[in-house]
Structure 1
Amino acid sequence: MTLMGIITALIVGLVIGALGRLVVPGRQNIPLWLTLVIGVAAALLGTVIARTMGYADTAGFDWRELVTQVVLAAIGVALVTGFAGRRSVSRY
């Protein structure tokens, strides 16, 4: 993978992660770097799912692939937020 491909993947991952955070209701107390990681993972997994299902290579913009990626990012953000919310520090 070239340097430009890596930079593009990070930008797309950040956008997908941000869209995933917007879909999840409430406040998410997760850092920006974790949103980026979730977004990149969701973008890659969404592309694999779209290719497996046969709708990744369409003419024009792949809306179904984007929706798949955003839904996966929202699930990832919700799961990470849920796990982070369970880890509370006891002050006693």
Structure 2
Amino acid sequence: MLGLIISLIIIGLIAGAIARLLVPGRQDIGILATILLGIVGSFIGGFLGYLIFHKDGDDGFFQPSGIIGSIIGAVIALLIWQRVGGKRGALH
């Protein structure tokens, strides 16, 4: 269980950081929010991977498709966050 949590944090940091590099514009979020972004992206990527390929994580947690899916999911989550955050900021 502890290994899973540490893996989620490390993959979350990597996926979140890469997503922030890929998405244009400035993101005013710290390292904890970047990790959370990557973790959310990992679940989004895992869900999309399951929908597309009909496979689950039984093949191993740390695999290239998992990392790539996490990055794609983090980019999607960041784009949604920017869209929602941008609208909320425009109202104030």
Looking at secondary structure, tell me which structure has more helix per residue. 2
Q: Aligned to 1:72, what secondary structure does the other structure show? A: helix
1:13-52 superposed matches below 5 A = 13-52=12-51
The verdict on how the C-alpha distance between 1:49 and 1:88 changes in structure 2, with shifts beyond 3 A counting, is closer
Give, in whole Å, the separation in 1 of the partners of 2:71 and 2:11.
11
Give, in whole Å, the separation in 1 of the partners of 2:32 and 2:80.
16
TM-score, L = length of structure 1: 0.69
Do 1:20 and 1:74's aligned partners in 2 also have CA atoms closer than 8 Å? yes
Do 1:38 and 1:73's aligned partners in 2 also have CA atoms closer than 8 Å? yes
Tell me, which stretches of 5 or more residues in structure 2 are unaligned?
none
C-alpha deviation, 1:44, in angstroms: 2.1
- Give the share of equivalent positions with the same residue, in percent: 28
The verdict on how the C-alpha distance between 1:88 and 1:33 changes in structure 2, with shifts beyond 3 A counting, is farther
The verdict on how the C-alpha distance between 1:10 and 1:62 changes in structure 2, with shifts beyond 3 A counting, is closer
The one-letter amino acid of 2:80's match is L
Tell me, which stretches of 5 or more residues in structure 1 are unaligned?
none
C-alpha deviation, 1:89, in angstroms: 8.1
Q: Confirm whether residue 73 of structure 1 aligns to residue 71 of structure 2.
A: no
The one-letter amino acid of 1:39's match is G
Give, in whole Å, the separation in 1 of the partners of 2:68 and 2:7.
19
TM-score, L = length of structure 2: 0.69
C-alpha deviation, 1:21, in angstroms: 0.8
